[in-house]
Amino acid sequence: MNVCEKGVIFALSYELERLLINGLFILLPIFIFQMFWVDRNRVKPDLKMPAFLGLLILSAILCMSFPVEFSKGFLFDLRHIPFIIGGLYGGYLFSIPIYLAILGYWFFFGGDGIFVNVPVITLIAVCVPLISKKYLAQNMKKKIILSITIALISSLLIILLANMLWKIPVNHENFPFYYFIAQGLSMWIGVYLIETMVRNYQMRKELVKVEKMSIINQISASISHEVKNPITITRGFVEALGDEESPEKRREYIGYALEELQRAEDIIQGFLKLTRPEEPCLKNINISKELAYTVHLLKPYAKSFSVKIETDGIENDCFILGDSQKIRQCFINLIKNAIEAMENGGKLIIRLKTSSGKVLIDIIDNGVGMTSYELENLQTPYFTTKEKGTGLGMVIVFNIIKTLKGDIKVKSEKGKGTHFTISFPLVSR
């Protein structure tokens, strides 16, 4: 290989590098936009479009700053890509500022290609926004075909004008051909990424909406199901009152009806607490005592499931900042679940220990265990695998632990059992 050939290969690889950098400048605004704007809810929606416009201008200017010169006199870059994308997605609101930015760049920094380029970019600035509305109504495939066609036409115009004004042959060492291909390919990748980004964003929004609707459905189904029972019973007693003569019986019926009405009220209160958790009343509490109390309370329940409870360390006093009502509610839910997981009896281990400024409480059962799907849904309101379950117990547990600045971990294996570990920061007595 002689020196001249080596020189050509070196120049070619240098220009290829520049071409790749140009490609990167096309991708950059799309990625930056996706990272910092699309998914950030705190960014105001009316700031998103100006941000995208700014990024497109930046991309066009960066492309112009690093042009590719495959052969002496044939200089090109991919500035048309962000420019056409701007015109297609933002109409004149985008194409005019990008147009002015490109002209401004020329004005301040100069450039040789001005006579070839100005007619083409003016044509893009005027014509592309005209089809913007139609373009936006197409599906992804048609958008890609349309945008590539525009990009190819613009590159052809450049090649023809360069031929007419500078007498650069249209087959000049194949370089116009490379430009043509690079322009089409970059447009394809750019539009494909934008469309995928928009589609993912819309899908996520749709998903959140569906999820909200399903929670509303679940809540209303659950409330009506729970409240219907006491109402039906009350109605029965009130009807019976009309036919009843004996004052004693009437008093008894009124008592039952009032009791059922109270139950309905409690159920509604319970739902309200779930959606609007009240502020806990934080005090120094002896968590060991609360745990021992709950275990004592649930012993008869465990017995009815033939579950043996084994405790370890719960007699040692440990203090945390908490709310004894809430802590009890939390223990009751966890221990009840563990007992219910062992329908045919089993052993429930409840262990309390301290370690590096924390109190750790293990609740271990050898019951039915959970699949990974069940584990994932543990915090989902109304998720239950039990016939008479409410699916609210664990939601309450997670909420309480969060408000008391504690932590909860769970390990579970289907058919083997479940191990919950909850921890709270210790405080001095």
Q: Check residue 273 for interaction with ligand ADP (CB under 6 A).
A: no
Q: Select the residue interacting with ligand ADP from 393, 422, 423, 424 (CB under 6 A).
A: 393
Contact range with ligand ADP by CB under 6 A, out of 38-46, 49-57, 232-240, 331-339: 331-339
Least distance in angstroms from the C-beta of 337 to Mg ion: 4
Q: Select the residue interacting with ligand ADP from 158, 364, 370, 422 (CB under 6 A).
A: 370
Least distance in angstroms from the C-beta of 397 to Mg ion: 9
Query: Using CA atoms in the order 12, 14, 17, 21, what is the torsion angle rounded to 10 degrees?
Result: -120
Contact range with Mg ion by CB under 5 A, out of 22-30, 197-205, 284-292, 390-398: 390-398
The distance from CA 20 to its chain's CA centroid, rounded to whole angstroms, is: 32
Least distance in angstroms from the C-beta of 288 to ligand ADP: 22
Rounded Cα distance between 236 and 240, Å, is 6
Closer to Mg ion at the Cβ: 67 or 393? Answer: 393
Question: What sign results for the dihedral spanned by CA atoms 237, 239, 241, 243?
Answer: negative
Closer to ligand ADP at the Cβ: 73 or 389? Answer: 389
Least distance in angstroms from the C-beta of 393 to Mg ion: 3
For residue 416 the two structure tokens come to 């083997």
Longest pairwise C-alpha distance within the chain: 121
Taking CB within 5 to 8 Å according to partner kind, which of Mg ion, ligand ADP, none is near residue 391?
ligand ADP
Rounded Cα distance between 94 and 78, Å, is 17
Cα separations in angstroms, 235 against 252, 256, 260, 262 = 14, 11, 10, 14
Q: What is the amino acid identity at position 428?
A: S
Contact range with ligand ADP by CB under 6 A, out of 92-100, 205-213, 255-263, 363-371: 363-371
Pick from 85, 71, 95: nearest CA to 159: 71
Least distance in angstroms from the C-beta of 308 to ligand ADP: 16
Q: Select the residue interacting with ligand ADP from 144, 394, 400, 408 (CB under 6 A).
A: 394
Least distance in angstroms from the C-beta of 363 to Mg ion: 13
152 contacts 184 by C-beta, under 8 angstroms: yes
Rounded Cα distance between 199 and 193, Å, is 10
For residue 395 the two structure tokens come to 């939601």
Least distance in angstroms from the C-beta of 340 to Mg ion: 7
Contact range with ligand ADP by CB under 6 A, out of 78-86, 125-133, 258-266, 333-341: 333-341
Rounded Cα distance between 301 and 337, Å, is 11
Pick from 66, 67, 79: nearest CA to 186: 79
Contact range with Mg ion by CB under 5 A, out of 224-232, 233-241, 329-337, 372-380: 329-337
**Rule CB under 6 A: which of 373-392 touch ligand ADP?**
374, 378, 383-386, 389-392
* CB-based contacts of 97, cutoff 8 Å, min separation 6: 53, 57
Place of tokens 């960066």: 62
Q: Select the residue interacting with ligand ADP from 337, 400, 406, 422 (CB under 6 A).
A: 337
322 contacts 402 by C-beta, under 8 angstroms: no
Q: Check residue 393 for interaction with Mg ion (CB under 5 A).
A: yes
Q: What is the amino acid identity at position 293?
A: Y
The three-point CA angle 205-206-207 to 5° equals 90
Q: Check residue 337 for interaction with Mg ion (CB under 5 A).
A: yes
Least distance in angstroms from the C-beta of 55 to Mg ion: 50
Task: Summarize as ranges the residues that interact with ligand ADP (CB under 6 A).
Answer: 333, 337-338, 341, 365, 367-370, 374, 378, 383-386, 389-394, 418
What are the residues binding Mg ion (CB under 5 A)? 337, 393
